[in-house]
Structure 1
Amino acid sequence: MQNLVKETRYTWEQTEHKQQTPIHIVDSIMGAGKTSWSIQFMNEADSDKNFLYITPFLNEVQRVKESVTSRKFATPEPKGKNKGKMDDLKQLIMKDSDIASTHALFQKADTELIELIKAGNFTLILDEVMNVVEQCNLNSDDFKWLLDGGMISVDDDTGLIQWNDDGKYQDTRYKDIKTLAETNNLYFFENTVLFWTFPISVFKAFKEVYIMTYLFQCQQQKYYYDLYNVDYAYKAVQKLPNGKYNLINHYDKEPYDKGAIKALINIYDGKLNNLGDDKNAFSVSWFRREQNKHLIEKLQKNIGTYFKNNVKTPAELNMWTCFKDDIPKLKGKGYTKGFVANNARATNDFKEKESLAYAVNRFMNPYEKKFFTSKGVTVNEDMYALSELIQWIWRSRIRNGKAINLYIPSKRMRTILTDYLDSDL
């Protein structure tokens, strides 16, 4: 697992291509003060600078609106029957407003929004990475109809889909396909799969970009930037003696105390782990196999045993996860209400949770992985799995420096975590 600790440095100065928009990856462990730094930064910024703050959750939107007292943030809202949140976002951009919104809305960016941002003086602060590459659901018959009718065409070399229609189908069920194609972010892949990639031109439209996350080097958005040859520089948050925050070069920071973090995590080691020795145990495909039906029943009993007999914490302090489709199979008395989605990020709503069960073995979507690798982008699935696991664990009270109990029945995921805790990453 030594490859877990290797990291490539990227700066826009190191390449011949000069990127107009500086992109800063604020890569610090959860609880280091990334959001606190961003609030301080926006409070102290010059009045002629405008901010677009994007976060996964509405409660974090509200937090920013209440905490940034030197400027008034607006949130896009639907305006009548035919004016949705995107329409309001565009109006707010035109007014040079400071805006706080969600990933879900920002992911719908179209060419008009990009041009409006470019015309302003906006800095983007992105709280956690987004899903920037996704499989687009267009059935093969509809795709063939659009292709045969000449509404779309596919570049033979790149797979990039172009929209050729003059607007006839703009207000039909193909409107979303039209929007994606017009921003040059829809690909035909493996003869059947359509992939949407978030418009890279969005990031280039801002005067400056800050992305707040942890372990960026193993996340999908990093692979996406590599795909488009985007340059970026790593930064880290440093808390000063006076309680304020500062951004420093990622490689100049003093490493956080990994030993102290390791001491806070009581990882279960016992017979309840015997079920997960296979490398693929508890992956999506494993749960879908009919022959594993009884093993899934055994896993459900093991989770219940762990909470009831091993850690003996009350239900309100228990937190668990699995893939969404498997919740009915794995839920049980004493922990069901403590479910937290395995891709949870950027939320403090579960910071009181003490005992955790992670019934997931994370791999990249195989089509997404193949899409990146086919474009020459190197993908590290163990690092990807580590990033997802760490983000989930840090929803619990460990983010406040308190000890937790952790049950990870997958040997692969458990090994990835213990190797990380023993490394200098």
Structure 2
Amino acid sequence: MTTPLLIILIGFLIFLGHYLAQLFQRTKVPDVVGLLLVGMLLGPVFHLIDPSAFGRAGRVFTNLVLVFILFESGLEVRFEQLRSALRGTVLLTTLNFVVTALVVSALAQWLTDLDFLSCLILGTILGGTSSAVVTTLARQVTILPQTATTLVMESAFSDVYTLGIPIALISFYTSSSFNVVTLAGQLVLALVGALLAGAGGGYLWLALLHRVPTLLKTRFSTPAFAFILYGVVELLQFSGPIAVLFFGIAVGNLPLLRRGWLRAVLPARTVELTTVEKDFFAEIVFLLRTFFFVYVGLSIVLDDPWLIALGVAMALVLFLVRIPVVLAAADRQTPQFDMALMSIMIPKGLGAAVLATLPAQRGLPGGAVIQTITFAVIVATTVGCTALFFLLDKGRILGFYQLFFRPPRPVDATAPGGKSDAGA
């Protein structure tokens, strides 16, 4: 595709993103599906654009999207929500990762010729959720703030598992060097380091804003600092996404932090992001997520009908096993609508797609099989999640999930549960 045509296409995609967003307001059909479809038509269907042509720029772009989305999401989280959601988030993230990895590994061991370790690599690659998809859908329905916070934090926390464990297993496969204790220590260190870096980065940036007022006149200085924080944390081999999320939480909660002994160390004058800055971030996130989902569609590789069918079947099983995971991890006072929404939020993202290419690059015998199944699961879970989201919001499938989730006691008639919850 020539440069003029590519520029025209970029402009067309921006208009398409706005149109699909307005279409969602009228029909409740998530725009993610349309953007994915456009990407697949441009890439694996008609081969108009080759995603490999983007090279490292594609990886940079996806990380850029995550920085913006997680930072903006963090700005909306309040400490009260964080406190109430943290325990459930850790349990949900860990339990979902373990169950997903075991289920996918067992199905792959049964239905493919992959060896045990390759099956385990496949399972751990698919153990997380996509931050971009989850945060997009969670904002488009009325749910408890704690539920939205749990889902956003799960998608960020799962990166610790899905980045660390598959790479360690691949290294073990290729070099026969693997230590469970060392891996567990690295995961804990990555999590704690990211939390401290995010919170410390928030304090440092707010102190800079207090001492250098000219920074307040720019709209891009805060995300620029978020980029620096992400890069530094990743270089230290911690979790950049978690650090950026907690950086946003720290920036959005400064007035709540200035209590007790913290008054002595925090800036005397409260510095907050303006409404104009927050609107600017929201517009940037909208544009980036539009191109992100098109890029995901471009990156899909589907070349084996049997493995594609197997990936779709795995996705269906994962939607079912998510129900007992939510039952075990969620608070019993969570409304049924929120529990149902949590049960469908298992989309796999581009991070899984990138990891799926590593086994083939490292020369693993089953590398091509792992890659094809992973891409099929990404498409099936993303499309399935958005389709179930539409049906749930319309109240079509809420009755099915009510078979598993009991209403909270005492029943709070004023608790938000979306339009469908009110009509249930």
Q: Report the TM-score, using the length of structure 1 for normalisation.
A: 0.25
Greater RCO, CA 8 A, separation 6+: 2
* Larger Rg computed on CA atoms: 1
Q: TM-score, normalised by structure 2?
A: 0.25
